[in-house]
Structure 1
Amino acid sequence: MSSIQSTENERQTAMRNWLAGISTPSLHLDTIRRASEDASFRSYYRVDAADGQTYIVMDAPPPMESVQRFANVADIFGKVGLTVPQVLAADNESGFLLLTDLGTTTYFHVLNNDSAHKLYMDAIDSLILLQTQSQPDVLPEYDRALLLKELMIFPEWYIGKHLGVTLTAEQTASLDKVFEALLANNLAQPQVFVHRDYHSRNLMLLDKGNPGVLDFQDAVYGPITYDLVGLLRDAYVQWDEEMVLDWAIRYWEKAKRAGLPVSADVDSFYRDFEFMGLQRHLKILGIFARLYHRDGKDAFLADMPLVMEYVRKTAQRYNVLIPLLRLLDVLEDKKPQVGYTF
């Protein structure tokens, strides 16, 4: 048995022992099954109960993960009025949570040309609700150090590890200038509560209180366009530019009416949206490369082309970002060719 399998078995045993000590709800431990996995060290399980409901068990092994962080943000977001899982029981030391179940239907599974507008309007309304209740000093600040740390995942993991390229001093200086332009924009934006992964795989379709919101434990206080660009320029779902622009403008109009401090003119707002999106997508390319090379998770390789398309389209629209486009053109020759055999 490998050490990974041994650790998994130990976690399963510890989780079952903990659940066995919970009296309400009365859980049928023989029904525990995998619910989902994500790009972190967390795992999720679904379990039936005597009350006819299903519940979710989060396994978040310390020190890599913190269930306390999840519980804290769940409390903040729940009080704001978002539909989030309720924490029913917690073992902070071992890293287990028992949560209410928001179902199995993600936005990702039901989005199409007919359903998208209504679903995105619901998601935008929830986002504005969250943002209007924002307060400083409640969540960690999405500061320059964190934004830059995220950007640096791109040269380290996508360029260095995935492409196997070492940048020259000149190329590094050029990329740094682009990063500085992005950071200057991002840090100048008004600050609000930021979910940080507000996209189709973390939004659940619900009959009441739509959408259900998951995976919020990394929430911060940061740039106002961050979650909107995560929603509309989703790494897993692509929409026509015209549709994205329409939804972004609808958000901008709603945000202004709600008293949020978005840019007074829509062109400036959309520039903020695009610069924030570029920061996010460069980070995502690096993270997807890291998930593959470090963690052996290859499923995200298939999503890289869409994310790179977002990067290129944004970079070509702004003079200050053109050096990034030129660098990508040079790197394209070094891109590994991934072949599939069926």
Structure 2
Amino acid sequence: MENSALEIALGDEAATQRFGEDVALAVKPGDLIRLEGDLGAGKTTLARALIRSIAGDPDLEVPSPTFTLVQSYDLRIPVHHLDLYRLSDADEVDELGVDELAATGVVLVEWPERAGDRLPGTSVTIRLEHEGDGRRATVSGNPAAMGRLRRSLAIRDFLAAAGWGQGRRRFLLGDASTRAYETVETGDGIRILMNAPKQPDGPPIRDGKPYSQIAHLAESVLPFVAIDEALRAKGFCAPEIFAADVDAGLLLIEHLGSGSYLSPDGQPVRERCEEAARLLAAMHARSWPREIRTSAGADHIVPRYDRGAMAIEVELITDWYVPFATGRPADAAMREEFLDAWNAVFDRLETAETSLVLRDYHSPNLIWREERAGLDRLGIIDFQDAMIGPAAYDVASLAMDARVTIPAELESAILEAYVEASRAAGAFDRTAFEEAYAIMAAQRNSKILGIFVRLDRRDGKPQYLKHLPRIRSYLGRALSHPALAPVARFYSRHGLLEDVAA
């Protein structure tokens, strides 16, 4: 059963430390973990490994809280380490404020039995016992927490099958989607673990289809594998895939480096932005198949960035941004007016140049490799949602970066670098490109406004709201093109254009 107890053999100290890493990558704020076992069973060893893993620092000093009772760590996930061995009375637990501690992070409790029934709800109980030269962990808990832990242990098994089971796992990134990334390090180097379990379809919202199908979002890692192999086959720098379990949603891939195309203070570097634009021109000069057979024999059909996908994305404006910006929901008449305006604009894309659209071609997904040359100088990641669509879309992603401000003059330099490289590669219609660019820039930034508000209102991630002024400014630039007149009138008529200009 999914929530039945686990028995885990920990043959030595290193195995206990790896288990601590596995637990660390499964916990989330609100978890309370009971660490049970006799003196010397390894509770503090496990707690230290867990805390150091979350800190990303194997040498972090983690003193035993035997005398202080509580030791707190302000980390990526705050951790509160309790040792109740010297507790004289269970009533003293109330003075520790464990409920408040759990509300702000993860609580690890050694000797929890000394608290009687005073601890709040437990997520996981780990009992450690001596076994030969090592120890054994018996793990039980609520279904949600156990599901997360089983996933983390399955990742360790996947790494072991790939020859990297002894690797040190560290959290790298959890993005706005359900994907998460880790670094895995051994003496042989560093690799990246992509953790992207298959996602169940959401409720049908149109024509019997859920949002993910209409917007052509990847529902497994197969699209990543297919696009990755296609990019590499044409000489582009996408990560090598060393191991894959498509059904489990796990990939072990190459670490392309840590270089950013931003400066140390987080500002875009013109030379690197222009290089990224030229790489797009090289990509758009190639032909791309819609059907890709991977090296493992699986088939992936690259979806088209069709009108249905574009429309469902911009509707995030009426679904989420309009209520946020105006304080009232969009009614049926407003929604109809909005779609009519966009459909009139989408009509103009019928003859636009098409190519492979990576969909998130911007600073978080571009790795600058200073020591390399040519196409190998810029590493590309995060392309599992790629489609065949208007080539200008990725240019808009780059020149109006959602995560870092691109001034208007740098935007112009990026576009010029793209245009010059495209002209050098063959026939190129600049006027048609500039129209498609404006349309896709307005479409993308409208979508992002809705997504970032949704991340705040629905998913409890308010940090995305800090990007809204930048996105509104970008949208204002795009809407100035005559091709966007119907959409610009909509924003103006409903008071949204003023917000855009703010």
User: Normalising TM by the smaller chain, what interval?
Assistant: 0.7 to 0.9
Q: Which of residues 244, 256, 262 in structure 2 aligns to 1:90? A: 244
Q: Is contact 2:342-2:487 (8 Å) kept?
A: no
Asked whether the equivalents of residues 156 and 165 of structure 2 are also in contact (C-alpha less than 8 Å), the reply is: no
Q: Match for 2:190 among 46, 54, 61?
A: 54
Describe how 1:69-84 pairs up with structure 2 within 5 A.
Answer: 69-84=223-238
Which of 402, 412, 418 is 1:251 aligned to? 418
CA distance in 1, matches of 2:494, 2:467: 17
In terms of fraction of residues, the more helix-rich structure is 1
CA deviation after TM superposition for structure 1 residue 119, in Å: 0.5
Q: Distance in 2 between matches of 1:226 and 1:330?
A: 23
- Percent identity over paired residues: 29
CA gap 1:332/1:254 in 2 versus in 1, 3 angstroms: closer
Mapped to 2, the partners of 1:219 and 1:251 lie a distance apart of 20
Matched, 1:288 2:462: no
RMSD: 2.5
Contact 1:28/1:50 (<8 A) preserved: no
1:18 aligns with 2:158: yes
Question: For residues 211 and 307 of structure 1, do their structure 2 counterparts lie closer, same or farther at Cα, with a shift above 3 Å needed?
Answer: same
**Cα shift at 1:270:** 1.9
1:246, 1:162 → 2: CA distance? Answer: 32
Between 1 and 2, higher relative CO (CA 8 Å, sep ≥ 6) is seen in 1
Q: Which has the higher strand share?
A: 2
Paired residues for 1:303-318 under 5 Å: 303-318=467-482
1-structure distance, mates of 2:470, 2:419: 25
Measured after TM superposition, the shift of residue 320 of structure 1 is 3.1
1:12-66 Cα deviation digits (max 9, x unpaired): 111112212223xx4533x100011211111100011232x10111111113541
Give the TM-score of the pair, scaled to structure 2. 0.60
Matched letter for residue 296 of structure 1: G
TM-score normalised per structure 1: 0.87
Q: How many residues align?
A: 326
Q: What SS does the corresponding residue of 1:308 show, helix, strand or coil? A: helix
Q: 1:126 aligns with which of 279, 282, 285?
A: 279
Assess, with a 3 A threshold, how the Cα gap between structure 1 residues 72 and 293 changes in structure 2: closer, same or farther: same
Q: Match of 2:290?
A: 137
Instruction: Give 1 or 2 for the bigger CA radius of gyration.
Output: 2
CA contact (8 A) 1:47 1:57 kept: yes
Higher alpha-carbon deviation: 152-161 or 54-63? 152-161
Change (3 A) 1:258 1:41: same
- Judge conservation of contact 1:27–1:50 (CA < 8 Å) in 2: no
Q: Which amino acid aligns with 1:320?
A: P
The question of 1:149 aligning with 2:312 is answered yes
Cα 1:181–1:136, aligned 2, differ >3 Å: closer, same or farther? farther
- CA 1:112–1:58 in structure 2 vs 1: closer, same or farther (change >3 Å)? closer
* Structure 2: stretches of 5+ with no match in the other structure: 1-122, 124-141, 201-218, 292-301
Worse overlay, 175-184 or 32-41 = 175-184
Query: For residues 202-217 of structure 1, what are the structure 2 equivalents within 5 Å?
Result: 202-206=365-369, 207-208=371-372, 209-217=376-384
Correspondence 1:116-265 to 2 at 5 A: 116-138=269-291, 139-160=302-323, 164-206=327-369, 207-208=371-372, 209-259=376-426, 262-263=428-429
Query: Partner letter of residue 184 of structure 2?
Result: V
Matched, 1:324 2:490: yes
Q: Output one character per residue of 1:128-167: Cα deviation in whole Å (capped at 9) or x when no partner.
A: 2222222352321111111112112221122246755223
Query: Structure 1: which 5+ residue stretches go unaligned?
Result: 336-342
Amino acid at match of 2:491: L
Contact 2:182 2:192 in 1 (8 A): yes
